[in-house]
Homo-oligomer: A and B are copies of this chain.
Amino acid sequence: MVMRKDSRLSRVLHVLVHMDQLDGPATSDTIARMLNTNPVVVRRTMALLKTEGYVTSVKGHGGGWSLARPLSAITLYDVHRALGEGSVFTIGLTDEHTDCPIEQAVNGAIDDVLEEAESLLLARFRDVTLDRLQFRSRSEKVSNSG
A contact set with B: CB distance below 8 Å: 1-7, 9-11, 13-14, 17-18, 35-36, 76, 80, 85, 87-94, 96-97, 100-110, 112-114, 116-118, 120-121, 124-125, 128, 132-138, 140-142
Contact = CB atoms under 8 A, between A and B. Distances in A.
B5 A96 contact: no
B133 A7 contact: no
Contacts of A106: 10, 13-14, 17, 133
A48 to B, nearest CB: 15
Contacts of A137: 101
Contacts of A133: 102, 105-106, 109
Given A17-B102, A117-B118, A124-B116, A4 B7 contact: no
A1 B3 contact: no
Contact of A3 (B2, B107, B108, B109): B2
Contact of A92 (B5, B112, B116): B5
A33 to B, nearest CB: 12
A107 B2 contact: no
A91 B9 contact: yes
